Structure 1
Amino acid sequence: MSNHENCYHCGLPNDPQQEFFTTILGQPRQLCCPGCHAVATAIVENGLESYYQFRTEPAEKGDDALDITLAKLAIYDQPELQEEFVYDEGKHKQIQLTIEGITCAACGWLIEKQLIKQAGIKQVAVNVAERRAVVTWESATISLSKILLTIKRIGYHAMPFQPDQHEQSFINEHKRYLKKVGLAGIMTMQVMMLMTGLYFDLFGNIGHETRQYFYWIALVLTTPVVFYSGSVFYLGAFKALAAKTVNMDVPVTIAVLGTYLAGIKSVLLEEGEVYFESICMFVFLLLLSRFLEHRARQKAAQVSANLMQHIPVTANQLDEKGNLTTQLAKSLSVGDKVLVKAGETVPIDGIIERGESRIDESMLTGEFAPVAKVAGDGVYGGTINQNGVLEVRVTATLKNALVNQIIRLQTSALINKPKIAQTADRFSKIFVSIVLVLSALTFGFWSYLGSEQAFWIMIAVLIATCPCALGLATPSALTCAMANLNSHGILIKRADALEQLTKIDTIALDKTGTLTKGAFSIEKQVFAPEIHESTALGIAHALETASEHPIASAFLSNTDFTARNVKVEPGKGLMGHVDGEVFYIGSPQWFAEVTGHTLVVLPLSPNVILFNEHQWLAAFVVSDELKEGTDTVIDELRARYAMCLLSGDTQKQVDKVARALNIQNAMGEMTPESKMAYMQDAQRDGSRVLMMGDGINDAPVLAQADVSVAVGNATDVARSAADVIFLNAELQGVQRVIGIAELTARKIKQNMAWALGYNVSILPFAVSGILHPWMAMVGMSLSSIIVVANSARLLKKDLL
Structure 2
Amino acid sequence: MSQAQCYHCGLPNDRNHKYETKILGEVRQLCCPGCLAVSEAIVANGLEDYYQFRTEPAQKSDDSILETLDTLNVYDEPALQEEFVFNEGKDKQIQLTLEGITCAACGWLIEKQLSKVEGIKQVAVNVQERRGLVTWSSNTIKLSQILAVLKRIGYSASPFHPDEHEASYKREQKSFLKKLGLAGIMTMQVMMLMAGLYFDWFGAIEQQTRQYFYWVALTLTTPVVLYSGSTFYLGAIKALSARTVNMDVPVTLAVFGTYIAGLRSTLLEEGEVFFESICMFIFLLLLSRFLEHRSRHKAAQISANMMQYIPVSATKIDAHGRLTQCLAKQLVQGDTVLVKAGETIPVDGVVIDGSATVDESMLTGEFNPVLKQQTDGVYGGTVAQDGSLSVRVTQSLKHALVNQIVRLQASAMAAKPKAAQLADTFSRYFVMAVLLISGLTYGFWSWQNNDNAFWITIAVLVATCPCALGLATPSALTCAMAKLNRQGILLKRADALEQLTGIDTIALDKTGTLTQGVFSLKERWFAKGVNPQLTMAIAITLEARSEHPISRAFSGDPTHTIEHFNVTPGGGIYGDIKGTRFYLGSASFCNVSDQSMIPFAANVFLCAKSASAENTLIAAFLVSDSLRNDAIETLNSLTAHQLIVLSGDTQQNVDNLVSQLPIEYAKGGLSPEQKYNQVQQLQQNGKHVLMMGDGINDAPVLASADVAVAVGNATDVAKTAADVILLGDSLQSVPTLMQVARQAKRTIRQNIAWAIGYNILILPFAVSGLLQPWMAVVGMSLSSIIVVTNSTRLLSK
The equivalent of 2:280 in structure 1 is 281
Tell me, in whole angstroms, the C-alpha distance in 2 between the residues paired with 1:517 and 1:12.
78
Tell me, in whole angstroms, the C-alpha distance in 2 between the residues paired with 1:735 and 1:59.
62
> Structure 2 matches for 1:379-458, cutoff 5 A?
379-458=378-457
Of all paired residues, the percent bearing the same amino acid is 61
Tell me, in whole angstroms, the C-alpha distance in 2 between the residues paired with 1:12 and 1:670.
79
1:15/1:794 Cα in 2 relative to 1: closer, same or farther (>3 Å)?
Answer: farther
> Structure 2 matches for 1:705-744, cutoff 5 A?
705-744=705-744
The equivalent of 1:210 in structure 2 is 209
The residue matched to 2:686 in structure 1 has which SS? coil
The residue matched to 1:346 in structure 2 has which SS? coil
Deviation (angstroms), 1:550: 1.5
The farther-off stretch of 191-200 and 506-515 is: 506-515
Contact 1:46/1:114 (8 A) holds in 2: no
Tell me, in whole angstroms, the C-alpha distance in 2 between the residues paired with 1:544 and 1:294.
52
Tell me, in whole angstroms, the C-alpha distance in 1 between the residues paired with 2:48 and 2:221.
33
Deviation (angstroms), 1:534: 2.0
Counterpart amino acid of 1:274?
A: V
The equivalent of 1:747 in structure 2 is 747
Tell me, in whole angstroms, the C-alpha distance in 1 between the residues paired with 2:455 and 2:637.
58
Tell me, in whole angstroms, the C-alpha distance in 2 between the residues paired with 1:379 and 1:49.
62
The residue matched to 2:381 in structure 1 has which SS? coil
The equivalent of 2:635 in structure 1 is 634
The residue matched to 2:638 in structure 1 has which SS? helix
Tell me, in whole angstroms, the C-alpha distance in 2 between the residues paired with 1:600 and 1:61.
90
Structure 1, residues 14-34: CA drift from partner, whole Å, max 9, x if none?
756467555789999886531
The residue matched to 2:515 in structure 1 has which SS? coil
The residue matched to 2:663 in structure 1 has which SS? coil
The equivalent of 2:665 in structure 1 is 665
The farther-off stretch of 597-606 and 461-470 is: 597-606
Contact 1:106/1:239 (8 A) holds in 2: no
The farther-off stretch of 110-119 and 157-166 is: 110-119
The farther-off stretch of 577-586 and 235-244 is: 577-586
> Structure 2 matches for 1:521-532, cutoff 5 A?
521-532=520-531
Contact 2:304/2:409 (8 A) holds in 1: no
Deviation (angstroms), 1:612: 2.8
Gaps of 5+ in 1: none
The equivalent of 2:701 in structure 1 is 701
Tell me, in whole angstroms, the C-alpha distance in 2 between the residues paired with 1:526 and 1:73.
68
Contact 1:358/1:385 (8 A) holds in 2: yes
Structure 1, residues 413-453: CA drift from partner, whole Å, max 9, x if none?
11211000100011101111111111111111111110000
Contact 1:48/1:244 (8 A) holds in 2: no
Contact 1:42/1:153 (8 A) holds in 2: no
The equivalent of 1:605 in structure 2 is 601
Structure 1, residues 318-350: CA drift from partner, whole Å, max 9, x if none?
122211111111111111111111111111100
Does residue 1:308 correspond to 2:307, yes or no?
Answer: yes
Structure 1, residues 656-692: CA drift from partner, whole Å, max 9, x if none?
1111213130011111111111111111111111111
Tell me, in whole angstroms, the C-alpha distance in 2 between the residues paired with 1:725 and 1:126.
22
Structure 1, residues 514-572: CA drift from partner, whole Å, max 9, x if none?
11111110111111234322222222222222222211111121342243443221111
Contact 1:93/1:136 (8 A) holds in 2: yes
1:577/1:51 Cα in 2 relative to 1: closer, same or farther (>3 Å)?
Answer: farther
Tell me, in whole angstroms, the C-alpha distance in 2 between the residues paired with 1:600 and 1:353.
43
Deviation (angstroms), 1:102: 2.9
Contact 1:489/1:727 (8 A) holds in 2: yes
C-alpha RMSD of matched pairs (Å): 2.6
Deviation (angstroms), 1:38: 2.7
Counterpart amino acid of 2:603?
A: N
The farther-off stretch of 705-714 and 28-37 is: 28-37
1:303/1:32 Cα in 2 relative to 1: closer, same or farther (>3 Å)?
Answer: farther
The equivalent of 2:680 in structure 1 is 680
Structure 1, residues 578-613: CA drift from partner, whole Å, max 9, x if none?
334322221112112xx7x55554212221112233
Deviation (angstroms), 1:309: 1.0
Does residue 1:506 correspond to 2:505, yes or no?
Answer: yes
Counterpart amino acid of 2:735?
A: Q
> Structure 2 matches for 1:154-553, cutoff 5 A?
154-553=153-552
The farther-off stretch of 188-197 and 697-706 is: 697-706
Contact 1:51/1:243 (8 A) holds in 2: no
Contact 1:713/1:729 (8 A) holds in 2: yes
The residue matched to 2:290 in structure 1 has which SS? helix
Contact 1:527/1:619 (8 A) holds in 2: yes
1:552/1:144 Cα in 2 relative to 1: closer, same or farther (>3 Å)?
Answer: same
The equivalent of 1:766 in structure 2 is 766
Contact 2:103/2:470 (8 A) holds in 1: no
The equivalent of 1:625 in structure 2 is 626
Contact 1:38/1:153 (8 A) holds in 2: no
Deviation (angstroms), 1:62: 4.1
Structure 1, residues 133-160: CA drift from partner, whole Å, max 9, x if none?
2222233443333333343344433221
Contact 1:358/1:387 (8 A) holds in 2: yes
1:50/1:345 Cα in 2 relative to 1: closer, same or farther (>3 Å)?
Answer: farther
> How many residues are matched?
786
Structure 1, residues 725-763: CA drift from partner, whole Å, max 9, x if none?
110011000111111111111111111111111111111
Does residue 1:656 correspond to 2:656, yes or no?
Answer: yes
1:780/1:105 Cα in 2 relative to 1: closer, same or farther (>3 Å)?
Answer: closer
The farther-off stretch of 753-762 and 57-66 is: 57-66
1:32/1:512 Cα in 2 relative to 1: closer, same or farther (>3 Å)?
Answer: farther
Tell me, in whole angstroms, the C-alpha distance in 2 between the residues paired with 1:179 and 1:300.
23
Contact 1:51/1:238 (8 A) holds in 2: no
The equivalent of 1:591 in structure 2 is 590
The farther-off stretch of 57-66 and 494-503 is: 57-66
The residue matched to 2:600 in structure 1 has which SS? coil
Deviation (angstroms), 1:46: 6.2
Tell me, in whole angstroms, the C-alpha distance in 1 between the residues paired with 2:131 and 2:356.
38
Counterpart amino acid of 2:295?
A: A
Tell me, in whole angstroms, the C-alpha distance in 1 between the residues paired with 2:524 and 2:137.
53
Structure 1, residues 445-492: CA drift from partner, whole Å, max 9, x if none?
111110000000011111111111111110110011111111111111
Deviation (angstroms), 1:69: 4.2
The residue matched to 1:351 in structure 2 has which SS? strand
Structure 1, residues 296-334: CA drift from partner, whole Å, max 9, x if none?
111111111221111111111112221111111111111
The equivalent of 2:565 in structure 1 is 566
The residue matched to 1:133 in structure 2 has which SS? strand
Contact 1:606/1:621 (8 A) holds in 2: yes
1:225/1:580 Cα in 2 relative to 1: closer, same or farther (>3 Å)?
Answer: farther
1:586/1:241 Cα in 2 relative to 1: closer, same or farther (>3 Å)?
Answer: same
1:705/1:612 Cα in 2 relative to 1: closer, same or farther (>3 Å)?
Answer: same
Tell me, in whole angstroms, the C-alpha distance in 1 between the residues paired with 2:529 and 2:220.
98
1:444/1:145 Cα in 2 relative to 1: closer, same or farther (>3 Å)?
Answer: closer
Counterpart amino acid of 1:771?
A: L
1:431/1:166 Cα in 2 relative to 1: closer, same or farther (>3 Å)?
Answer: same
The farther-off stretch of 118-127 and 35-44 is: 35-44
Gaps of 5+ in 2: 610-614
Tell me, in whole angstroms, the C-alpha distance in 2 between the residues paired with 1:540 and 1:244.
68
Contact 2:643/2:662 (8 A) holds in 1: no
Structure 1, residues 251-283: CA drift from partner, whole Å, max 9, x if none?
111111101111011111111110000000001
The residue matched to 2:589 in structure 1 has which SS? helix
Contact 2:583/2:606 (8 A) holds in 1: yes
The equivalent of 2:612 in structure 1 is none
The residue matched to 2:435 in structure 1 has which SS? helix
Structure 1, residues 85-113: CA drift from partner, whole Å, max 9, x if none?
12122222211122223334454444444
Structure 1, residues 172-213: CA drift from partner, whole Å, max 9, x if none?
111111111111111100000000000000011110010010
Deviation (angstroms), 1:167: 1.1
Tell me, in whole angstroms, the C-alpha distance in 2 between the residues paired with 1:108 and 1:50.
31
Structure 1, residues 39-66: CA drift from partner, whole Å, max 9, x if none?
553565467999999xxx9999545362
Contact 2:508/2:646 (8 A) holds in 1: yes
